[in-house]
Amino acid sequence: MASVFTKIINGELPSYKVHEDDLTISILTIDPVSPGHTLVIPKQEVNHWFDVPPEIFTRCALNSQKIAKAIKEATGCPRVGTIVAGFEVPHYHLHLIPAWSIPDLDFKRAQRRSEAEMKQIQEKIISCLK
């Protein structure tokens, strides 16, 4: 069965996309730890990060750097933390989380935001990518 991310990649589910290329897609997470919390996801469905083919893993890493710089600019945060957890969806994804301190990386802080808030931060990040 296709993961929720594969369904997003295939256009079967909506998302707040901030970046896409031939190998990856980057979207705002539906329950952000802080506004701007983005997921970088390979289009190929692979469960564990250590099984992702090297070319795709490298692309995820390179795109993560570019997107993290845009998140930092868009949010004004001093750091963008990265986390690979892999428990919630069996499809590798890298969390990029705007952070001001270590507690800002706690998933217990995750909460649903309004559509207006999500669109606003999506547009800010996209504008900072250009």
Say if residue 119's pLDDT is above 80.
yes
Instruction: Tell me how many helices (H) and strands (E) the chain has.
Output: 3, 5
Say if residue 2's pLDDT is above 90.
no
Element spanning 69, H or E = helix 54-75
Q: What is the pLDDT of residue 15?
A: 97
User: Rounded to whole angstroms, how far apart are CA atoms 31 and 46?
Assistant: 22
Say if residue 1's pLDDT is above 80.
no
Mean pLDDT of the chain: 96
Q: What is the pLDDT of residue 88?
A: 85
Domains in the chain: how many in total?
1
Output the domain CATH number for residue 26: 3.30.428.10
Could you tell me if 114 and 75 are in contact, meaning their C-beta atoms sit under 8 angstroms apart? no
60-107 pLDDT per residue, tens: 999 999 999 999 999 999 999 999 988 888 899 999 999 999 999 999
Q: What is the pLDDT of residue 87?
A: 85
18-49 pLDDT per residue, tens: 999 999 999 999 999 999 999 999 999 999 99
Range of the domain at 13: 4-129
β pairing state of 17-20 and 94-99: unpaired
